[in-house]
Amino acid sequence: METTREKLINATFDEVFSHGYQGASLSDILAKAGVHKGSMYHFFANKKELALASIEETILQKNAEKYRYVETYTSGFLEEFYTRLRDTSVRDFKRGCPIANIVQEMSNIDEDFNTLMKSIYGAFRANIKAILDKAIEVKEMQPCDTTKLALFITSTIEGAILAAKASGNAQDYVDVIEELIVHIERKR
């Protein structure tokens, strides 16, 4: 069963993902969660702490799941990575990427959001770098500066999601990803 705190974390993430932090209404979050105001203030000091906790816990958990496979594999790192990149079913092109949304909205406005998003985006880059390092380790790829390549890949992925959101056309994401894979394949 979902605890009150979990209800709040989930409703907040969805509401912030849909309307942004500033656009997210506390009353709407409470209505969606089915939790009363005072109850929420029992668990969180204010709207900001609620949002920060919601973003951190939700995204870190999703990411841990998403990249766990790297630990369990012994080969085929790039192929598996491409497969997951190509999988559009896990994407929400209407709302975009939750990380990018919050970075864009809040990084220059609030220091606490800035700090959190820095660490989340950093973790994203680290996850991609770990895949590349594994690929090099098992000779699926030539040695190269994986920090920079991971930066390039994450940037292009975020750009691809943005392009699809802007045009309303998921194919734009696919097209960018295919070109990105061509680029990575040149490092074989």
Partner DNA sequence: GCACCACTTGACTAATTGGTCAATTTTGGT
Partner DNA sequence: ACCAAAATTGACCAATTAGTCAAGTGGTGC
Q: What is the dihedral sign for C-alpha 82, 86, 92, 97? A: positive
Identify which of residues 18 and 39 has a Cβ nearer to its own copies in the complex: 18
Q: How far apart are CA 51 and CA 15, in angstroms?
A: 10
Binding residue count for DNA, defined by CB under 7 A = 17
Footprint of its own copies on this chain (CB under 8 A)? 18-20, 22-23, 94-96, 100-101, 103-105, 107-109, 114, 117-118, 121-122, 148-149, 151-152, 154-160, 162-163, 165-168, 172, 175-176, 179-180, 183, 186
Residue 41 phi/psi, 5° resolution?
-75, -10
Our finding on whether 19 is near DNA (CB under 7 A) is: no
Which amino acid makes up residue 177? I
CB-CB contact of 22 with 105 (8 Å): yes
Contact partner at residue 151 from its own copies, DNA, none, CB < 5 to 8 Å by partner kind? its own copies
Decide if residue 111 touches DNA (CB under 7 A): no
Identity of the residue, 8 or 180, whose beta carbon is nearer to its own copies in the bound complex: 180
The single residue among 1, 38, 65, 68 that binds DNA, judged by CB under 7 A, is 38
Q: Which of 10, 20, 32, 39 binds DNA (CB under 7 A)?
A: 39
Nearest to 156, CA basis, from 109, 80, 106, 97: 97
Burial of 97 (0-12, 13-18, 19+ CB in 10 A): buried
Any contact of residue 2 with DNA (CB under 7 A)? no
